[in-house]
Amino acid sequence: MIDFAAARRMMVDGQVRTSDVTDLRIIAAMLELPRERFVPSAHAELAYLDRDVPVGVGGSRCLLKPMVLAKLLQAAAVQADDHVLDVGCASGYSSALLGRLAQSVVAHEEDPALARQAEANLAALGARNVTVAIGPLTAGWPPKAPYDLILINGAIEVVPGALRAQLKDGGRLLAVVGRPPLSRAMLYRSVAGDVSGWPIFDAGAPQLPGFAAPPQFVF
């Protein structure tokens, strides 16, 4: 029988703290939340490994590595009064973390089965400031826009204009952009309607569907 509490501490001490994550709110949230709840029960022993953990039908979607997610959240500088869109929330782990840090969170998922899992997990944990929304990931969730922060849970090649448009002035967007071995975590900020970004650390993540760059015409 796995001691999940001990595994959780080992994850934080061995993967998160050692990756220069010093935000005590993120560390406390990761120590408290049962990550094993958000993965299929048959794979619960994988929940705290240093890897992207498959969830959903056929494991086509994943929870981000704990280190990558923690560093993204730290770079996002989540504020207690932030309104957040969590794109590709999968079974809801990242949304549960954000719910501990921000005022309100929209857990956005296009896979209905994963959205139902997220809703059940978040309800069981009492995450009352997190609501689940189902729709295409690339479209964001306009009914609750604009957002102080948008987190994209997976690797993308382009940031859709629809997501850029849903940022508040001064809002931030975090994503892993590119394909390994050339992918990087990026931080984007919206200033007077202009969204620009810069790399913050090298990172790999599973590709999210729908975010591929359009093919370029070559003469």
Cα(60)–Cα(56) distance, integer angstroms:
6
What confidence tens digit (pLDDT) does each residue in 84-136 have?
999 999 999 999 999 999 999 999 999 999 999 999 999 999 999 999 999 99
- Of residues 60 and 169, the one with the higher pLDDT is 169
DSSP one-letter code for 14: I
Cα(36)–Cα(45) distance, integer angstroms:
7
Instruction: Specify the pLDDT at position 120.
Output: 97
Instruction: Name residue, tokens 């969730």.
Output: 141
Do 64 and 52 contact (CB within 8 A), yes or no? yes
Q: pLDDT tier at 186 (50, 70, 90 boundaries)?
A: very high
Instruction: Specify the pLDDT at position 42.
Output: 85
Cα(86)–Cα(149) distance, integer angstroms:
8
- pTM across the whole model: 0.95
3-state secondary structure of 185: strand
| CATH architecture of residue range(s) 4-202 | 3-Layer(aba) Sandwich (3.40)
Cα(40)–Cα(212) distance, integer angstroms:
28
